[in-house]
Amino acid sequence: MRNGIAKRQEALDQADLVAGNGLMSRRALLTAGGRMTVAAAAGGMSALAVSRSAAAEALSVPPSMTVPGAPMSGYGQPSPYEEAVQRGVLKPYGDLAPGTGVSMTPLQHLAGTITPNGLHFERHHNGVPSIDPETHKLLVHGLVKQNLIFTVNDLLRYPMTSRTCFLECSGNSFFNSFPKPMQMPCGMIHGLISGTEWTGIPLATLLDEAGVDPKGKWILAEGADSAGMSRSVPLDKVLDDCLLALYQNGERLRPEQGYPMRLLVPGWEGNMNVKWLHRIKVTEGPTETKDETSKYTDLQPDGIARQFTFPMGVKSVITHPSAGLAMQGPGFYEVSGLAWSGHGTIAKVEVSADGGNSWAEAALQEPVMSMMLVRFRLPWRWDGSLSRLMSRAVDDQGNVQPSHEAWAKQYATGPAGNLYHCNAVQTWEITAEGEIANVYV
C-alpha cells in the first residue's frame, strides 16, 4: 500500500515554506533536525511501503543475477536504455549544407554541472574537419618578434593548466527572441550551453615566446575548417586567461570540439573559442572578419548593429521540471537548474513558482566556480494547479538576469531581428494536466 498521503500532508504543513505556491526551504530537508520532514514533504513522492512478504518478493532474484554479464570494454558507451538522450540537431539549410548548424545539449535529461563530451553542444559553419595531428601546425605571426610554428607534439611538452568553464553559443536561446514562445524541449531552446574541464597551454606562454610587439593589441584566431572561422580577441583577455586547449574532460579534444586544438576564451561568446585552430596573428586592431560583422553582432531597435558583445550575460534556466519532461501528478518535486555568467561568479539564484509574485533563494551546489555552470536546487510541493516556474540569477558583479520583456526591449525584434545574447528569464508554465510549456512573462 502507498504511504498515508494525508499523514504526510499534515507534517508538510509544518515544513518551512519560503515563497508562494509551495516553494520549501532546502534547510528543512537537509538539516539533521529537519530530516523527518523529508518523508512528510514527500507527499506525492511515491516510495512504496511494503509488508514483509512483499519485501521478500522484491528480494526474488532478478534476471540480471542469473546470467553472467558483458565483459569489460576499451571505451564505454551509454546504456541502450538511454539512447533517446542525444544532442538535438538543427540544420537550417538541410542537405544543402549538412555541416552548417547546431546540435544542442539535452539539458532536461542531465544533472550536475559537467557535460559529458559526447553531449557537449556543437556549432559549425561548414562541418567538422578531419585533421591529422601529425601534420597539423599552429602558426603565431603578425606583430611578433619571431614567427613561430608549433606541432602538436611540441605543444604537448609545454606547461599546462586546467579550467572548468562553460561554453555558450552567443545564439543560445535564440528561439526565445521570436515574437511568440516556441514549444520544444528545454534543451532545444537553451542547449547551446555546456560545461567541461579544459586543459591546455596559457596563450600568454606562446605569445611570450614569440615576443609581442608593443603595437600589438588584438589577435586574430583562425580555424582550419572549410568555413575559415575566424575571430578577433583583445590581447588583454588573451594574456589574462585564454588557453590553447588540447584536452576536454581529461581526454584529447573530440573532433567536433576542435581536435587537435582550439582556443578557449572563458566566459565569452562561444564562437570566439575558435576550433581547429591553426593560426594566431597579433594585430593592432580587430580584423573585422565575416564572423564578427555579418554575424555575431547585435541588432538594436534603431537598426544599428552593436559589435563586440564579448561576455555572455548572467543567465539561468530551470531544467527540472522543464519542457520535454512531464509532471507525474501533484506532490514533491525538486526544482533544479543551471546558472552561469560570463562576467564572473554566480552569487545568487532565486526561484518563483507563482509567475514572479514571490521568490525564494535556491541552494547552489559547491564548488561554485567563476564562468562555470552552477547547479541550483530548491524543494517544491506542486499542488496540481496551473503554476509558473521561473529562475533569476545574479552574479558577483551585480548583474541581474533580465525579464523577457526587459531583454527584448534592447534589441530589434521580428523575423530579421536580433538573435544573440538572449539571457532573459525563462518561464515554464505547468498546466493542471501536468504539461509544461514555454511562456513569456
Nearby residues of 263 by Cβ (< 8 Å), 6 or more positions away: 203, 221, 233, 242, 243, 244, 245, 272, 273, 274, 275, 277
253, 292, 219, 280: which is closest to 129 by C-alpha?
A: 253
* Distance set, CA 437 to CA 375, 387, 401 (Å): 22, 11, 21
Of the pair 77, 302, the CB lying nearest a copy of itself is at 77
Find how far residue 115's CA is from the centre of its chain: 8
Which residues within the stretch 180-209 sit at the binding site for a copy of itself (CB under 8 A)? 196-199, 202, 204-206, 208-209
Which residues within the stretch 63-92 sit at the binding site for a copy of itself (CB under 8 A)? 64-82, 85-87, 89, 91
Q: Which three cell numbers stand for residue 86?
A: 542525444
CB atoms under 10 Å from CB of 372, counted, come to: 22
Q: Is 214 in the site for a copy of itself (CB under 8 A)?
A: no
Q: Which three cell numbers stand for residue 8?
A: 504526510
The DSSP code for 248 is E
433, 426, 351, 336: which is closest to 385 by C-alpha?
A: 433
Bridge partner list, 264: 243
Of the pair 1, 416, the CB lying nearest a copy of itself is at 1
Which helix (H) or strand (E) segment holds residue 58: the answer is helix 52-58
Cβ contact 104:123 at 8 Å: no
Q: Is 1 in the site for a copy of itself (CB under 8 A)?
A: no
Applying CB under 8 A, among 17, 160, 305, 412 the residue interacting with a copy of itself is 160
Shortest distance (Å) from residue 33 CB to a copy of itself? 12
Q: Is 381 in the site for a copy of itself (CB under 8 A)?
A: no
Q: Is 360 in the site for a copy of itself (CB under 8 A)?
A: no
**What dihedral do alpha carbons 16, 17, 23, 26 form, nearest 10°?**
-20
Q: Is 322 in the site for a copy of itself (CB under 8 A)?
A: no
Shortest distance (Å) from residue 408 CB to a copy of itself? 29
- Alpha carbon distance 71, 176 (integer Å): 46
Shortest distance (Å) from residue 401 CB to a copy of itself? 22
Shortest distance (Å) from residue 280 CB to a copy of itself? 12
Q: Is 353 in the site for a copy of itself (CB under 8 A)?
A: no
Burial (CB < 10 A; 0-12, 13-18, 19+), residue 169, is buried
Applying CB under 8 A, among 6, 33, 51, 214 the residue interacting with a copy of itself is 51
Which residues within the stretch 394-433 sit at the binding site for a copy of itself (CB under 8 A)? none
Q: Is 50 in the site for a copy of itself (CB under 8 A)?
A: yes
Which residues within the stretch 276-295 sit at the binding site for a copy of itself (CB under 8 A)? 276, 278-279
The interface region with a copy of itself, picked from 180-188, 247-255, 342-350, 417-425 by CB under 8 A, is 247-255
297, 171, 277: which is closest to 222 by C-alpha?
A: 277
Q: Is 246 in the site for a copy of itself (CB under 8 A)?
A: yes
Which residues within the stretch 117-156 sit at the binding site for a copy of itself (CB under 8 A)? 117-120, 122, 124, 126-133, 135-137, 139, 141, 146-151, 153-154
Q: Which three cell numbers stand for residue 388?
A: 509558473
The interface region with a copy of itself, picked from 94-102, 390-398, 423-431, 432-440 by CB under 8 A, is 94-102
Alpha helices in 164-222 (DSSP H): 186-190, 203-210
Of the pair 131, 323, the CB lying nearest a copy of itself is at 131
Number of residues that bind a copy of itself (CB under 8 A): 137
Of the pair 110, 189, the CB lying nearest a copy of itself is at 110
CB atoms under 10 Å from CB of 263, counted, come to: 25
Of the pair 83, 302, the CB lying nearest a copy of itself is at 83
Q: Is 20 in the site for a copy of itself (CB under 8 A)?
A: no
Q: Is 94 in the site for a copy of itself (CB under 8 A)?
A: no
Applying CB under 8 A, among 252, 295, 343, 348 the residue interacting with a copy of itself is 252
Q: Is 388 in the site for a copy of itself (CB under 8 A)?
A: no
